[in-house]
Amino acid sequence: MNRFIIFGAFDPFSASEEQAVFSLRQKEKGAGQFVFVLLDSLSAFSQRQQLLNYALKDELADFAVLSIEEAEGKKLMEEGKKASEDQFFFPGQVNSLYPEESRLLLLGQEEEKKGFGGSEMRLPLKVLTFIIAHGLYFVPKARSYYKFRRYQHALRVAYTAEKIAEKNGLDSYKAFQAGYYHDITRLASPYKYARRAAKEYGRLFPEGKIPVQVLHQFTGPMLIEDVFGVKDPLILDAISCHTTGKGQMTWLDMILFASDKIEPGRKYDSKRLIKAMEENYLTGFKEVLRVNTDYLESGQSQLPKFTDQLSQACLESYLTKGNA
């Protein structure tokens, strides 16, 4: 039986292990065994096994799979030097504990990502949910920017946006990312970002001052690009208008704006609006915008009625007689 022994941290954001498995599956048509030697910082070995199985299940359907810890991996390597049928692989960065020998195939020197921002890797939602639920990778850093209730809101927005996007045949992964990060500077905006936002966007607001309730939509994209490596302009732009809206919005702009207003934790029954968004995000967005505008104008909201150029452009584009 062919046995492939793969040493790696299984970083789902560099996808190096997936690339290794895919490459080997193209070459090997018969059955075999994959042995994953898990080298990473996760303290719970069972978490690594579960995450590995979630992410690689489809690629490993015909193979026996064994996940072992590093100490066992070292023994296998010593034994493998005498066993010609074993093949060793080091995807991604080669661990310094192991020498680069001519018979070891090195695959894909991938740069590790700080967060799930890169378009290079698409995590299945089940994997992403597992990572968030267990506080792995980028999660502790992201949570440090949120208070508990605000973080729970961000998660609800992420899952609401993800489902709406999926129902509309759109990119649910990007929708989830936008929702997860959308309020990351709501608690506080670092001074350097606040100053930059005032310079770039202040002119769009009365007296050149950005309301505190709106500032985070501008500073959030700056922070997640610098700290978490999110570079996708579609995601950054959606976060930058999720409070005010704007004229000529993208599908993600609309879905994030609406999800923020209608996620299930809001203090009203939003099921009708969620269903409308899932059936058709454009017509659903217009209805959410109409309801939100009525709410702001009623005086019941703690938020002020926005009179800035972005909000006015949004209303003109989507709630005027010709576009409503």
Residue 194 half-sphere exposure toward CB, CA atoms < 13 A: 14
CA distance 287 to 268: 15
Query: Per the domain annotation, does 84 fall within a domain?
Result: yes
Among 81, 107, 133, give the residue marking a domain's end. Answer: 107
Query: Per the domain annotation, does 175 fall within a domain?
Result: yes
The model's confidence at residue 151, banded by pLDDT at 50, 70 and 90, is: very high
In total, the chain counts a number of residues equal to 324
Residues 89 and 152 in one domain: no
Domain count, the chain: 2
Are residues 89 and 105 in contact, defined by beta-carbon separation less than 8 angstroms? yes
Query: Per the domain annotation, does 135 fall within a domain?
Result: no
Global pTM value: 0.73
Q: pLDDT tens digits for 277-318?
A: 999 999 999 999 999 998 888 777 666 667 889 999 999 999
- Residue 280: give its domain's CATH number: 1.10.3210.10
Among 91, 107, 123, give the residue marking a domain's end. Answer: 107
Residues 103 and 158 in one domain: no
Q: Which tokens go with 63?
A: 């193979």
Residues 66 and 177 in one domain: no
For 278, the domain range is 145-318
Residues 89 and 151 in one domain: no
Strands 2-8 vs 32-38: parallel, antiparallel or unpaired:
parallel
CA distance 244 to 258: 11
Residues 188 and 307 in one domain: yes
Residues 168 and 280 in one domain: yes
Residues 154 and 91 in one domain: no
Helix intervals (H) in the chain: 16-27, 45-56, 70-80, 125-133, 139-143, 148-167, 172-181, 191-201, 212-227, 233-239, 251-262, 271-279, 281-298, 309-318
Q: pLDDT tens digits for 57-114?
A: 555 555 555 556 666 666 766 665 555 556 655 554 433 333 333 233 333 333 334 4
Q: Which tokens go with 35?
A: 């042995």
pLDDT at residue 104, as a whole number: 33
